Amino acid sequence: MTTEKEPIGVVGVGWVGLVTAACFAELGHPVFARDILPEKVEALARGETTIHEPGLNELLARNAERLNFTTEMSQLLDSTRLLFVCVDTPPTYSGDADLGRVMSVVDEMRGDSSHALVMKSTVPVGTGRKIQRELADTGYASCPEFLKEGSAISDFMRPDRVVVGADPGNEWVAEAVEELYVPLGGERVRTDVSSAEMIKLASNTFLATKISFINEIANVCEEVGADVSEVARGMGLDDRIGPKFLQAGVGFGGSCFGKDVSALRKLAANTGYHFQLLNAVVEVNELQKRRVVHKLRERLGSLVGRRIALIGLSFKPDTDDMRDAASLVLAARLEGEGVDVVAYDPVAQERAAELLPAVEMAPSALAALDGADAAVLVTEWPEFAELDWAAAAERMARPLLIDGRNFLDPNLLKAAGFEYEGIGRAVEGSVPAGTAE
């Protein structure tokens, strides 16, 4: 006899909410997902989504009978007990998180004693306690998400840990949430709400710090003639450090790292504590993108009138997300230098075109390289490793490549006729700064 799974409510069907809804449906739960945008709900009800996430469309199609999309909160309240809150919390001009969408959900739950809110949205520490004061009758728990764009489904289905925060009186909510995740495995971290909120912010800011650190090391490597790829490999073999997030490049982007670093820095400042380390993380990340322009200027001299190709535009591969993408800063800086910028991305091109109206969008990577004085690899899409780089060199006015992700094999590029420069990679024939020839 098959046991019927508990129905799940999801509030907000952006990237996190839609992945959460699809994955719970895949586990056999009836899911009722609500969004305030009628056009989005109508499209999802037809099986259409504009979010690019590998495997998501297939998951939605396979579980269409379990997925119910609506604009009405009442449908969630009539059908479910646990409501997973997955709404946006974008940064404000002050750097604080905008909790407007979260508090709109809170307003709809006032006086409700038969449901529980499970917070997946990333919120400042202390938000849960505030909500619990305002919703004394409603259950509450924090269950932060740790999904990575491009691998969100596998991250959900095979978590390394599941964090559930609940304060006294809400233990039943924590137990109900933990029960949902039992089939998925992973370490369970049961804690209080504020600690759960801090775990999410601290995790993302630590990863951002690790990226900025290796980028600083890369910059020093360029000055002394060391190779950051070798340095990172040697560092990563230490199990206290590990190899992940030690890939030097043009800096981090996306919707999470920058926002969460800013949120934690602002949270600390609001308490009177000056989080100096995070100030440096932000500064390094901003300067790293601009170093590419400096590299181009060193190689080409004046950039006025040059044609430079950006290869890849999304902030990382396997997503069409352009939020805080390095390409946005690079394109703006190059345009400011008088460059004619041309670009190509296999997935994010349509979104990028709206954000970069002055950039010429090419139909392919090779087309983008036609007549270019230089190219910058910005996003490490796997297809770029398979590109016919010898043919690309012949099509360029000058076969110069700045590999902003240290993604390509320098020897293969040089054999194809390219002048190659990575980030913190030793360049054959170069002389470290401060070294006499």
Q: Which positions are annotated as active-site residues?
A: 256
DSSP string, 13-41: -SHHHHHHHHHHHHTT--EEEE-S-HHHH
The b-or-e profile of 218-228 (16+ CB within 10 A means b, else e) is: bbebbeeebbb
d(C-alpha 288, C-alpha 423), whole Å: 9
| Dihedral in degrees, nearest 10, Cα atoms 287, 293, 298, 304 | -140
| Dihedral in degrees, nearest 10, Cα atoms 393, 344, 155, 51 | -160
d(C-alpha 139, C-alpha 195), whole Å: 18
d(C-alpha 418, C-alpha 23), whole Å: 45
Contact in structure between 410 and 425 (CB atoms under 8 Å): yes
Q: Which two tokens stand for residue 424?
A: 């913190």
Question: Among residues 16, 259, 60, 315, which one has the least CA distance to residue 152?
Answer: 16
CA distances from 201 to 96, 101, 121, 205, 259 (A): 13, 19, 11, 6, 10
d(C-alpha 193, C-alpha 163), whole Å: 10
Distance of CA 87 to the CA centre of its chain: 16
| Dihedral in degrees, nearest 10, Cα atoms 175, 181, 186, 189 | -30
Task: List Cβ neighbours of 334 (8 Å cut-off, separation of 6 or more).
Answer: 293, 296, 303, 308, 341
**Helix, strand, coil distribution of the chain in percent, nearest 5:** 45, 15, 40
Contact in structure between 268 and 248 (CB atoms under 8 Å): no
